Amino acid sequence: MKKIYWTTATCGVLACAIVIHGFAARHSPAPPGKMLAIKPADPIPIWRTVPDQALAAARSAGGDTLMVFDGPASGDEAASFGMAVFDTPEFREHAGRSFTLLRLASSPDAAPDQAVQVSTWGQRLGVSQFPTLALVDSQGRPYAMAALRSKDMAEAIKTLDSLAEIKVKRDEFFAAARSAEGIERARKLDAGLELVKPVAGESYVEVMRQILDFDPDNAAALRAKYQNAVAEVDINHAIQAEVYPLIDKGNLVGAVQRIDRLIAGAGASPEQRQLLLAFKGQLYFSLHDTQSAARSFDDAVRIAPNSDAAAKVLAARAQVFGSPS
């Protein structure tokens, strides 16, 4: 059975340096039988390629992750000039002081689970150009992203440093929120989220919940701003954790009943209800109840006939019934 998705939602070089300690050591040979002190330099950071491993390493170190999306490794011009910059020792040394390095690229040689991780992160961040830089904090929350438009090394480093500043400012607002109360606290949290808005998404849902709590009557218009986003996260979680398991067990009637409760919930927006009704229509069709299936699709379109969700509903209806109504 086809599923409807409504989320708005995819080696280093070792270096060493000889350090000779002391004035005498610099100006005279070493005494017989005594070796000169040799201290290896820190290795130049490498690009990891498995997201889960890189994020775990960053989390363990209490640091952030630099993701580079550079497209297929097949001679693509954008990807080639991107890694020509990113793979230099100079860039890796600079970036490696603050970040775990992660390169995400489509590759026919990638393991299936790795390919899924790359695709998931690309979709999650809305990556549309190569190469693109994205920064993720130690809690797995993205906070900045930008496409690289220049082959210039200095410009690439400047872009990275500018993106890193976004987290500093975000955390200043979040820290100020902890010292504030009521609507003022909600406003501080909102200001922090605005800085990371292009890449925020589900990972900031707990911050959004706090905003709802501290603007309960929508006095600052912040409850209205975030309630649909929170509802979407909750609905998606319920679909993944409760509805799909019922479907996997063959309990389609139970899945329909759970969707009905989601539709009746106070938090669902009109477009979310449209997509839930279309999902319900698919389930009815699988139960061979074509009359209820058609009614669910029609009810979904009727909520907001000109919405983007309505177009998705009609496309799903066409797939189920073979042609639009």
Contact assessment for residue 118 and residue 51, using Cβ atoms and an 8 Å cutoff: yes
Q: What is the mean predicted confidence (pLDDT) over 286-303?
A: 95
Distance CA 211, CA 200 (A): 15
Confidence of residue 31 (pLDDT cuts 50, 70, 90): very low
Q: In the predicted model, what is the mean pLDDT of residues 163-189? A: 97
Query: pLDDT tens-digit profile of 178-204?
Result: 999 999 999 999 999 999 998 988 999
Torsion, Cα 28 30 32 34, to 10 degrees, reads 160
Side-chain-facing half-sphere of 309: CA atoms under 13 Å: 24
CB 122 within 8 A of CB 104: yes
Token representation of residue 13: 């070089």
In tens, the pLDDT along 50-89 reads 888 899 999 998 899 999 988 654 444 545 566 778 888 9
pLDDT digits (tens, 9 = 90+) for 83-95: 778 888 999 999 9
**Count of all residues that appear for the chain in the document:** 325
**88 secondary structure, DSSP code:** S
**Centroid of chain to Cα 137:** 11
Our CA dihedral for 23, 27, 28, 33, rounded to 10 degrees, sits at: 60
| pLDDT, average across residues 296-301 | 96
Q: Check: CB of residue 137 under 8 Å from CB of residue 163.
A: no
Burial of residue 63 (number of CB atoms within 10 Å: 0-12, 13-18, 19+)? middle
For 62, phi then psi, to 5°, come to: 70, 25
Sign of CA dihedral 192, 198, 200, 202: positive
The predicted structure's pLDDT at residue 113: 76
Distance, CA of 221 to CA of 22 (rounded, Å): 66
Question: Residues 263, 298: contact at Cβ < 8 Å?
Answer: no
Residue 44 pLDDT: 81
The full DSSP string for 110-136 is: S-HHHHHHHHHHHHHHT--SSSEEEEE
User: Residue 205 in contact with residue 229, Cβ under 8 Å?
Assistant: yes
pLDDT score of 57: 93
Question: What is the structure's pLDDT at 2?
Answer: 44
pLDDT of 5 strictly over 50? no
The pLDDT score that the predictor gives to residue 70 is 80
The strand ranges marked E within the chain are 64-69, 99-104, 132-136, 142-147
Instruction: Output the pLDDT for position 176.
Output: 97
Q: What is the pLDDT of residues 80-136, one digit of tens each?
A: 566 778 888 999 999 999 999 999 886 677 777 777 878 888 888 888 888 899 999
10 Å Cβ neighbour count for 27?
Answer: 8
**pLDDT for the residue 82:** 62
On average, the pLDDT of the chain sits at 83
Average of per-residue pLDDT across 197-224: 94
Rounded CA-CA distance 124/295 in Å is: 33
Instruction: Report the predicted TM-score, pTM, of the whole model to 2 decimal places.
Output: 0.76
Taking only Cα atoms into account, the Rg of the chain, rounded to an integer number of angstroms, comes to 26
**Residue given tokens 């109504």 in the structure block:** 325
Task: Report the distance separating Cα 192 and Cα 173, nearest Å.
Answer: 5
- Residues ≥6 apart with Cβ < 8 Å to 251: none
